[in-house]
Structure 1
C-alpha cells in the first residue's frame, strides 16, 4: 500500500484539505453527515489515542472513533467500567482533532452525569472537534457493552439526555448517536422500542448495542433512522461481511477496539521475545522501522516547516 504524508509535499503550495480531507471541524462534520446519509456501512475503526488516529487516517479510512473502552484500557490500564472522566475524553478529543483530519466520533459514555452535565459535555466535545457524539442509556457507572451485569436508566431519563445533547450543539451537522444497552437487560424487543423512542425525540443515529444473532442485526438495520453496528472480537455480536451490512441498510460498521487488540497482541509477542532472548532479532519483522515511525507521526512535515521558517 502506498502512503502519503499528512500535510502534502510542499507546504507552500499544498493545503491539508486539498489532498487529505477536511481542514476545519465544520467541514469534517459535513463530510461525516454525507457518509451517514449514504447508508454504505462505512468502516469506522476505533482510536484510543492520537497515534492510532494518525494510523487510521494514513491507511485511508474515512472516519475514526474515540473509544471509551480503548481509552480506559490504554490510558488507565483498567477495564471499561465507567472510570474515565469527561475532562479526559474532552482532552483526548482535542489531541486527536489536532493531528487527524478525519471526522471523529466520540464515545461519551452516559454523558458523565445528569442531563445538565450531558449538555455541558456536548458543548465541550463539539468545541474540541467532535463530528459526532455518542451517548448511552446505561446506569452510571457504565460497563462495556459486551460485559454482563449491565443496567439501563428509565427511558424518560434517557430521552431527556438526548434532548440536552440536541440543544447543546451549535452546529446542526454535529450528529448525536443514541445508544441503548437494553438488549442485554430487557430483551431485544425492548431495545428496539427504546431505539424507536430515541429516533422520535430527534437522535440522528441509533446504536443498539450487542445484538446476538444475524437476524437481530438485520432487524436493527431496518429501522428508519441511520444505524451503527458494533463488532468486537470475542463479543456477543456475530461478525458479518460488509456487503451484507450495506444490504441491511447500516450507515456505519464500528470496530471500536480492533487496533487495541492487535496492539496488545503485538506488544506481548515482541516484548515476550525480548524477555526470552534478550534481543529483538527474532521479531524485527513484527516492528515498524525507525523511519516509518517518524513518518507516521508527521516528522517529515514538521521538518519541512522548520526549514521554511528557520532555514536560510
Structure 2
C-alpha cells in the first residue's frame, strides 16, 4: 500500500493522529524510531535548518522538494510536505504537487497566502482573493486526479485578515473542490476551533504551536473537538536548538560534562546498526 493510502486510512480511523514535525532526514527518522505513524515536513523547520533563515518565503521550491526527497527516503511512514503557495500560478501548483509526489510525500499542503508567504503565526501575512485561492486547490486536485499518488491538504490563512467566517467559507469550498483534508490556520479560541471542526466537512488539521495564536490543547481535547491530525512544528526544533545552544555555551566555557547519550546509542540513532546488518549480509 502506498504512503498516500496509508495516510488516508489514518485520516479515516476516527482517531486523532499526533504528528511531530521534521525538517531533515535525521529528524524524520527519529520520529519514526519513536513509534509515530506519521510526520509533517515543516516549512518553518526546513527554512531554519537548511538556510538558517526565518519562514518568510525565502526558501525555494527546488530546495523544499529536495528536502522532501531526503526525508521520504529516510522513512517508511507517510509524511505530509509543506508546499507553501504552490510557487506560482496553476501550472506551478500542479508541478509542485507532482514534484512532492515523486519525492515520496504522502500529502502536500497548499495554502492561500500571498507570496512571499510566512509562518502563519507571525505578523505581515496576507491572503490572495478567493478566485486565486480556489484555483490553487483546483490545480492541486487536478494533479492528483491525473495520476499523482498524493493527498491534498488545503490551508487557509484568511482568519487573520478577514475573520473566521471567511476562513470557514474558504475551507468549505476547498473541500468541495476535492481537497482530502483542510486546515484553518491560527483560530484564536477553543470555540473558534470547535466551529471549524463542526462546520467544515471531512478531516481537519490543528496546528499546535507553542506561544502561537491558537490555544495549545491536549490530544484528548483535540480528539473531542473532532480533529484528525495535530501537528507540532516547533516542539522538536526548539528542543534541538536549545540543546545545541547549551552544549556550545558549555564548550565555550571549557565545560565538558558527561555526554547526554552513549556513543552506541548515537550510532543506533543514525542507523549504523542497520548498516552493519546489511554489510554483514553482503559479506557472505
TM-score normalised by the chain length of structure 2: 0.96
Confirm whether residue 246 of structure 1 aligns to residue 223 of structure 2. yes
**How many residues of Structure 1 are paired with residues of Structure 2 in the alignment?**
282
Q: CA-to-partner distance for each residue in 1:151-183, whole Å, 9 max, x for gaps?
A: 100111111111111111255762100000011
Q: Structure 2: how far apart are the matches of 1:188 and 1:162? A: 20
Higher relative contact order (CA 8 A, sep 6+): 1
Q: CA-to-partner distance for each residue in 1:112-161, whole Å, 9 max, x for gaps?
A: 11111111111111011010100110000001000011110011111111
- Asked if the contact 1:33–1:173 (Cα under 8 Å) also holds between the matched residues in 2, the reply is no
Structure-to-structure mapping, 1:131-280, within 5 angstroms? 131-169=106-144, 174-222=150-198, 223-276=200-253, 278-280=254-256
Secondary structure (helix, strand or coil) at the match of 2:67 reads: helix
Q: CA-to-partner distance for each residue in 1:212-267, whole Å, 9 max, x for gaps?
A: 11111111111212100001111111111211211111100111221101111111
Q: Structure 1: how far apart are the matches of 2:49 and 2:155? A: 23
Aligned residue number for residue 105 of structure 2: 130
Change (3 A) 1:98 1:172: closer
Residue segments in structure 1 that go unaligned for 5+ positions in a row: 1-25
Q: CA-to-partner distance for each residue in 1:25-80, whole Å, 9 max, x for gaps?
A: x5221111011112311011100000000110000011011111100011111111
- Asked if the contact 2:97–2:148 (Cα under 8 Å) also holds between the matched residues in 1, the reply is no
Aligned residue number for residue 299 of structure 1: 272
Q: Structure 1: how far apart are the matches of 2:81 and 2:38? A: 11
TM-score normalised by the chain length of structure 1: 0.87
Confirm whether residue 33 of structure 1 aligns to residue 8 of structure 2. yes
Residue segments in structure 2 that go unaligned for 5+ positions in a row: none
Secondary structure (helix, strand or coil) at the match of 1:295 reads: helix
